[in-house]
């Protein structure tokens, strides 16, 4: 079955997500023991969507990250690189505005969105700093970015367990129900290689975002990074 490696070739990454699109939401909920729903609610509170707020949800997949924003009245564009993810999204959430696009080359004009967000997709880009820069370009002055990513647990004993046991067990667990268990091997590898919270915050500011900060969820398994575009 298709899977990418840490070189993150765009065609390989897209093909990998095409292969898991149909059961993506269900299997992620199962593997996280329902934590994805809690994380999503926390992120929605941080974003605080309001009617008419223009939001670009990058790497939206089948739209689970966009749904709550849309229901709060925001004007949401759900963008993804994977045609399979978009097809699944249009099937299960036909009310969302799905658009195929590349996080590294966003087709939108400068200063278009009040907020840009990316949940668990920045890690899968070939050049995440360029993706951050592109998001900055299309965000309005004074607007925000909210990045949700797997990160580094802060409590050392739990961090060791998470990195060495759970990350090795993840591909094995996925064989019980995923249509593409090899993709979850990539998931484990990419999480282990991802920058720590402090490093990602520095990288965000290095490309031009201001006042970068983060909130840890589930002890740092996930971090929600927020920053602003200067006015």
189-196, Cβ contacts within 8 angstroms, sequence gap of 24 or more: 189/5, 189/6, 190/6, 190/8, 190/123, 190/124, 191/123, 191/150, 191/167, 192/163, 192/167, 193/6, 194/123, 194/149, 194/150, 194/151, 196/151, 196/152
pLDDT tens-place string over residues 76-126: 999 999 898 899 999 999 999 999 999 999 999 999 999 999 999 999 899
Q: Does a structural domain hold residue 4?
A: no
Sheet holding 75-80, edge to edge: 97-100, 75-80, 54-58, 113-119, 139-150, 222-228, 210-217
Domain CATH number, residue 38: 3.40.50.150
pLDDT tens-place string over residues 181-219: 556 667 777 888 899 999 999 999 999 999 999 999 999
**pLDDT recorded at residue 6:** 44
Q: Does a structural domain hold residue 91?
A: yes
pLDDT tens-place string over residues 31-61: 566 788 899 999 999 999 999 999 999 999 9
Q: Does a structural domain hold residue 3?
A: no
Q: Does a structural domain hold residue 52?
A: yes
Site of tokens 């670009």? 56
Joined tokens for residue 10: 């765009």
Q: Does a structural domain hold residue 16?
A: yes
Average pLDDT over residues 158-174: 72
Residue 15, domain extent: 10-228
Q: How far apart are CA 119 and CA 35, in angstroms?
A: 14
Q: Tell me the pTM.
A: 0.86
Site of tokens 């919270």? 197
Q: Does a structural domain hold residue 1?
A: no
Count of structural domains, the chain: 1
**pLDDT recorded at residue 13:** 53
């Amino acid at each position: 079955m298709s899977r990418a490696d840490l070189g993150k070739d765009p065609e390989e990454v897209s093909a990998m997500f095409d292969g898991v699109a149909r059961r993506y939401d269900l299997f992620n909920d199962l593997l996280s023991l329902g934590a994805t729903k809690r994380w999503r609610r926390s992120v929605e509170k941080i974003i605080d969507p309001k009617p008419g707020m223009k939001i670009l949800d990058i790497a939206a997949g089948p739209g689970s990250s966009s749904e709550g924003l849309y229901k709060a009245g925001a004007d949401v564009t759900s963008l993804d690189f994977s045609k399979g993810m978009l097809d699944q999204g249009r099937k299960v959430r036909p009310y969302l505005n799905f658009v195929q696009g590349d996080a590294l080359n966003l087709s939108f004009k400068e200063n278009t969105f009040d907020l840009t967000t990316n949940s668990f997709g920045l890690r899968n880009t070939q050049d995440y700093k360029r993706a951050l820069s592109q998001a900055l370009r299309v965000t309005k002055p004074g607007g925000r970015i909210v990045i949700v990513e797997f990160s580094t647990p802060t409590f050392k004993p739990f961090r060791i367990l998470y990195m060495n046991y759970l990350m090795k067990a993840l591909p094995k667990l996925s064989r019980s129900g995923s249509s593409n268990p090899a993709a979850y091997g990539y998931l484990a590898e990419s999480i282990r290689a991802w920058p720590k919270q402090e490093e990602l915050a520095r990288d965000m500011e290095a490309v031009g975002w201001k006042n970068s900060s983060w909130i840890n969820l589930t002890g740092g398994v996930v971090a929600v990074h927020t920053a602003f575009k200067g006015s």
